[in-house]
Chains A and B, each alone.
Chain A
Amino acid sequence: GAVVSQHPSRVICKSGTSVKIECRSLDFQATTMFWYRQFPKKSLMLMATSNEGSKATYEQGVEKDKFLINHASLTLSTLTVTSAHPEDSSFYICSARVGGTPTYEQYFGPGTRLTVT
């Protein structure tokens, strides 16, 4: 149980275009989802916390107009990178927390490799 999927696994886009990444909890309801960014050979950096039905909370230094997060349902959150530039190329990972429980455990998706040319 507690499986999180991400789509696509890899995406290449041209500079200036937008790209959407989906994060789904397949067998549980996720009231809270998290979006991380990972640079090569680095740790994960939390970008934002997404609660179902409300606006995402962004970490300091993360541009909310550039990284649009929508958590429209209990099983789906999306991250849209708008007007992508080569410096946005990175590995993006989402995670989800099981709703209605006190557990702190997050379940991670397999990640999405974004390359902006």
Chain B
Amino acid sequence: AQSVTQLDSHVSVSEGTPVLLRCNYSSSYSPSLFWYVQHPNKGLQLLLKYTSAATLVKGINGFEAEFKKSETSFHLTKPSAHMSDAAEYFCVVSEGGTYKYIFGTGTRLKVLA
């Protein structure tokens, strides 16, 4: 069965410094992986997705993630945090056959001025 673990429930960074949000997955076959962002009381916005093409995936707003099969990781990074990046981030693995999403527990990113 697939699962996803977000290793940090909260991350705080200063504005202008790098962001690292960690995600590890478990899957019995080649997964599709996603990162979504959710601002308060809003729906989910897709940041980026990995679907077995390039292992380094670039997304919107300067975010990117690298799929590392050997480490079963899909960490999200951004070189320089902006105040508007403060939000909840979810790592998601999709379940084959049923197309269901398995959500991580989320990481709340706080950006300090």
Find chain A residues with CB under 8 A from B106 CB.
Answer: 42-43
Prevailing SS type, chain A contact patch: strand
Q: Taking CB as reference atom, which chain A residue is nearest B44?
A: A108
Chain B contact residue count (CB 8 A cutoff): 23
Cβ 8 A contact of B105, one of A34, A43, A49, A103: A43
Given contacts A43-B90, A43-B105, contact A104 B43 (CB under 8 A): no
Contact of A93 with B51 in the complex, beta carbons under 8 Å: no
- A46 interfacial contact with B, CB 8 Å: yes
Interface size of A in residues (CB-CB distance below 8 Å):
23
What are the 8 closest A-B residue pairs judged by CB atoms, nearest first?
A: A104-B94, A110-B43, A104-B32, A108-B44, A43-B103, A111-B43, A108-B43, A43-B105
Contact A109 B43 (CB under 8 A): yes
Contact A113 B41 (CB under 8 A): yes
Kindly state whether residue B63 has any CB partner on chain A within 8 Å.
no
In angstroms, Cα B47 to Cα A105, docked, is 12
Query: Which residues of B19-36 are within 8 A (CB) of A?
Result: 32, 34, 36
Residues of B in contact with A (beta carbons under 8 Å apart): 32, 34, 36, 41-46, 49, 51, 90, 94, 96, 98-101, 103-106, 108
A1 to B65, CA, bound (A): 24
Question: Contact at A46–B101, with CB atoms within 8 Å?
Answer: yes
Chain B residue at smallest Cβ distance from A97? B99
Are A46 and B34 in contact, CB atoms less than 8 angstroms apart?
Answer: no
What B residues does A42 contact at CB under 8 A?
105-106
Least Cβ–Cβ distance between A116 and chain B, in angstroms? 18
Bound complex: CA of A34 vs CA of B99, how far in Å?
Answer: 10
Q: Do A104 and B99 touch (CB < 8 A)?
A: yes
Query: How far, in Å, is A77 (CB) from chain B's closest CB?
Result: 15
Enumerate chain A residues within 8 angstroms of B34, measured Cβ to Cβ: 105
A111/B42 in contact, CB under 8 A:
yes
Smallest Cβ-Cβ distance to A113: which chain B residue? B41
Residues of B within 8 A of A6 (CB): 43
Cβ A110 vs Cβ B42 within 8 A? yes
Judge whether A32 is part of the interface by a CB distance below 8 angstroms: yes
